[in-house]
Structure 1
Amino acid sequence: MDMTIAGDTGLLDVLQHEVAVFARRAEQTRLGGVGQVRNSMDRAAYLLLNRLDLEGPMGVKALAASMGIDSSTVTRQVAPLVDTGLVKRTSHPEDGRAVVLQLSPRGLSRLGEVRCSRRQLVAELTTDWTPEERQAFCTLLTRFNVALSARQNTQGVPASEARPES
């Protein structure tokens, strides 16, 4: 079903093209930041560490549900983070068979470095923007991401194909 509104076709063509260009450039640079930290953490690791920081320790299933991906994907993506000491696996206090994932002090420090580097990159890219323009872009990009996520959820996109959210 074509939901294009008459007269909007040209604008929607430009928008879809710019979203495609953004996705390609973001993946090429990984919006990694600047300085020594640039590109030093892949997207999946960043999003997992960020989620654990924001929501606290949780099990694999809860983390997967929170990010809109399946448990096997989380397990696979968390393994190198545990191996490098960025995430700790501990037993659940009430059910020793269950595993709880939490950000290690090293993981928190590393996440802070990456956030700072990425923040600096975004500041550089938007240096000539007003605070209102930055806020408007953030609001619209968040709204766009929420709409994409909702569409994935209603269309039954397999979790393994869905991209992790922030």
Structure 2
Amino acid sequence: MPTSQDMMTELDPGLLDALQHQVAVFARRAEQTRLGGTGQLRNSMDRAAYLLLNRLDQEGPMGVKALAAGMGIDSSTVTRQVAPLVDTGLVKRTSHPEDGRAVVLQLSPRGLARLEEVRSSRRQLMVEVTEGWTPDERESFCTLLTRFNTALSARQSAHTGGPAAESAPSSPAASPAEGTGESAPTS
């Protein structure tokens, strides 16, 4: 079986340099805009909050450990990131339906409304950024970016021994910015 080093010597170093450069430029641009959408809502929700709210919306109520495992991050990180979301009423803590002693995190109606505002704004940004692209080009880009993020997540998981972070949209209708996990190049 060929090693990574064997594969690297078979690939065009110029292409690999161009790829890593474009990933670095993308990371910088994504951080500059925070993929924050357009209009009044631009840059209005940080990446951690967006990913947590999106995950709770897609997967439903869950405990901190399950949320952390699904996102490929530490439970203490999730606890820290969720605290301001609870304080602002976007997430609520409730009793687990089967074990009243356990606490689960749930997207509040206010949190869902706010998430929908941000999603709408981000969709508009994707429309503007990919203006002139065909539907097939958008789909191909989304597929390749998802594949790239999945590979980064798997690599990170293999190196840290932790769970792989989410990286794929839950549905084909989800925008590329919505399905990225913590291992996305915007970190």
Q: CA deviation at 1:157?
A: 6.6
Count of aligned pairs between the two proteins? 163
- Say if 1:47 and 1:165, in contact at 8 Å, map to a contact too: no
* Candidates 143, 147, 155, aligned match of 1:143: 147
- Say if 2:152 and 2:183, in contact at 8 Å, map to a contact too: no
- Runs of 5+ consecutive residues of structure 1 not aligned to the other structure: none
What are the equivalent positions in structure 2 for 1:109-120 lying under 5 Å apart? 109-120=113-124
- Runs of 5+ consecutive residues of structure 2 not aligned to the other structure: 164-180
- Say if 1:34 and 1:120, in contact at 8 Å, map to a contact too: yes
Identity across aligned pairs (percent)? Answer: 78
Q: How far apart are the structure 2 equivalents of 1:121 and 1:144?
A: 21
* Candidates 87, 90, 94, aligned match of 1:90: 94
Q: Deviations over 1:84-127 (max 9, x none)?
A: 00001011122222110000000000000000000000100001
Counterpart of 1:155, as a letter, is H
TM-score by length of 1: 0.93
Moved more, 91-100 or 56-65: 91-100
- Say if 1:59 and 1:99, in contact at 8 Å, map to a contact too: yes
Q: What is the aligned partner in structure 2 of residue 154 from structure 1?
A: 158
Q: What is the aligned partner in structure 2 of residue 126 from structure 1?
A: 130
* Candidates 37, 41, 44, aligned match of 1:40: 44
Q: How far apart are the structure 2 equivalents of 1:156 and 1:89?
A: 30
CA-based RMSD of the aligned residues comes to: 1.7
What are the equivalent positions in structure 2 for 1:50-129 lying under 5 Å apart? 50-129=54-133
Q: Deviations over 1:58-105 (max 9, x none)?
A: 011000001000110000000000000000101112222211000000
Secondary structure of residue in 1 paired with 2:97: coil
Counterpart of 1:9, as a letter, is P
Q: How far apart are the structure 2 equivalents of 1:38 and 1:158?
A: 33
Secondary structure of residue in 1 paired with 2:106: strand
Secondary structure of residue in 2 paired with 1:45: helix
Q: What is the aligned partner in structure 2 of residue 29 from structure 1?
A: 33
Secondary structure of residue in 2 paired with 1:69: coil
